[in-house]
């Protein structure tokens, strides 16, 4: 199994902690890293590294961004107005 290193970052993007995980795939590593971030309220972001290669980064607010598929107020975000 591949060994990935997770770096947990603070609000200033400084590494505060790290953990090595074995994962069957990159997708598994991402899911585990996101779950770990959810349980570590003191950290703002997680990065996944494969050796010296950076491969993934997520901030704590990733779920809010992923769920937001439409803007509630079109004018506020510069979306085109509907033709009258």
pLDDT in tens, the chain (84 residues): 789 999 999 999 999 999 999 999 999 999 999 999 999 989 999 999 999 999 999 998 765 444 434 445 444 444 444 444
Q: Are strands 15-22 and 3-9 parallel, antiparallel or unpaired?
A: antiparallel
pLDDT in the model for residue 69: 43
Task: Tell me how far apart the alpha carbons of residues 57 and 43 are, in angstroms, rounded to a whole number.
Answer: 13
Task: Tell me how far apart the alpha carbons of residues 40 and 55 are, in angstroms, rounded to a whole number.
Answer: 21
pTM over 0.85: no
Q: Can you tell me whether residue 71 is helix, strand or coil?
A: coil
Task: Tell me how far apart the alpha carbons of residues 69 and 32 are, in angstroms, rounded to a whole number.
Answer: 24
pLDDT in the model for residue 70: 46
Q: Can you tell me whether residue 77 is helix, strand or coil?
A: helix
Domain extents in the chain = 3-62
């Amino acid at each position: 199994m591949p060994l990935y290193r997770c770096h947990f970052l603070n609000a200033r993007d400084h590494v505060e902690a790290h953990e090595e995980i074995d994962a069957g795939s990159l997708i598994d590593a991402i899911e585990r890293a996101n779950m770990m971030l959810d349980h570590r309220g003191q950290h703002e972001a997680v990065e996944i590294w494969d050796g010296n290669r950076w491969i993934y980064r997520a901030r704590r607010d990733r779920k809010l961004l992923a769920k937001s598929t439409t803007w509630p107020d079109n004018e506020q975000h510069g979306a085109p107005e509907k033709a009258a």
